[in-house]
Structure 1
C-alpha cells in the first residue's frame, strides 16, 4: 500500500557504496519506493561510490518509474556528483543540493 502523506521518505547512506554495500542500498530503496510516493536518498555522508553504487541508483530509478514514485538524490558530495556527471546520469536522476 502506497503512503498517502506529503512528506518524502528519507533513506540515509553513509561511507562507501561499492560492490559489498550496493545490494543492501538497492533493497532499501526498492522497499521504500514500493510504499512511498517520494523517496529521498540522503548522500551527505557518502565518501565513495563505484559502478555498483551507480547500478543500484539506476535500478532504483527504474523501479520508481514502474511504481509511479519519485527518487531524489540529495546532499551528494563531490565524489558522487563527479561520477554522476562523468557517466551522464546527472541528466537521468533527480539530483538536489
Structure 2
C-alpha cells in the first residue's frame, strides 16, 4: 500500500493526516512536515493516523523525535485519531503519551 500525507498549516496548529504504510522510507516526510510547521510558527502538531495500516520501528523513532522537537520549542504533538495498529504500538512501546485520548480499556490491559 502507498503512503500519503496531507498537511494543513494554520499557525499555531498544523494537522497532519497520514494514511498507508509508515516506515523507514516514508517517515522522513513526517519529520520534514513537522520541521516546516515549526518554521511557519506552529507549536501544536495534531496527527490523524486513523488510516495508517503499518508502522515500523524507524517510524516510531521519527514520531518520538518529532514530539521531542516540538517540546523543545515549547510546543506539543499528539495523535488525535489513530488506527488499531498505531494504538497498539504506542501502548506497547511507551509512546502512549502521544495519544490524545487512548481508550481506557486499552490502557488498562
Determine helix, strand or coil for the equivalent of 2:24. coil
- Once residues 89 and 11 of structure 1 are traced to their aligned partners in structure 2, the CA distance between those partners, rounded to angstroms, is 18
Quick check: which has more Rg, 1 or 2?
2
Which one has the bigger strand percentage? 2
- Once residues 38 and 50 of structure 2 are traced to their aligned partners in structure 1, the CA distance between those partners, rounded to angstroms, is 20
Q: Which aligned segments of 4 or more residues in structure 1 are displaced greater than 4 angstroms?
A: none
**Cα pair distance change 1:94/1:80, threshold 3 Å:** closer
2:32 pairs, out of 27, 35, 40, with: 27
**Cα pair distance change 1:84/1:70, threshold 3 Å:** same
Post-superposition offset of 1:57: 0.6
Structure ranking higher on relative contact order (CA contacts 8 Å, 6+ apart)? 1
| Matched residue, 1:96 | 101
| Matched residue, 2:86 | 80
Post-superposition offset of 1:68: 0.8
- Once residues 30 and 14 of structure 2 are traced to their aligned partners in structure 1, the CA distance between those partners, rounded to angstroms, is 14
Deviation per CA, 1:36-92: give whole Å up to 9, x if none. 1211011121111111110111111110111111111121111111001111110x3
**Cα pair distance change 1:94/1:30, threshold 3 Å:** farther
TM-score where L is the length of structure 1: 0.83
Superposed CA RMSD: 1.6
| Matched residue, 2:72 | 66
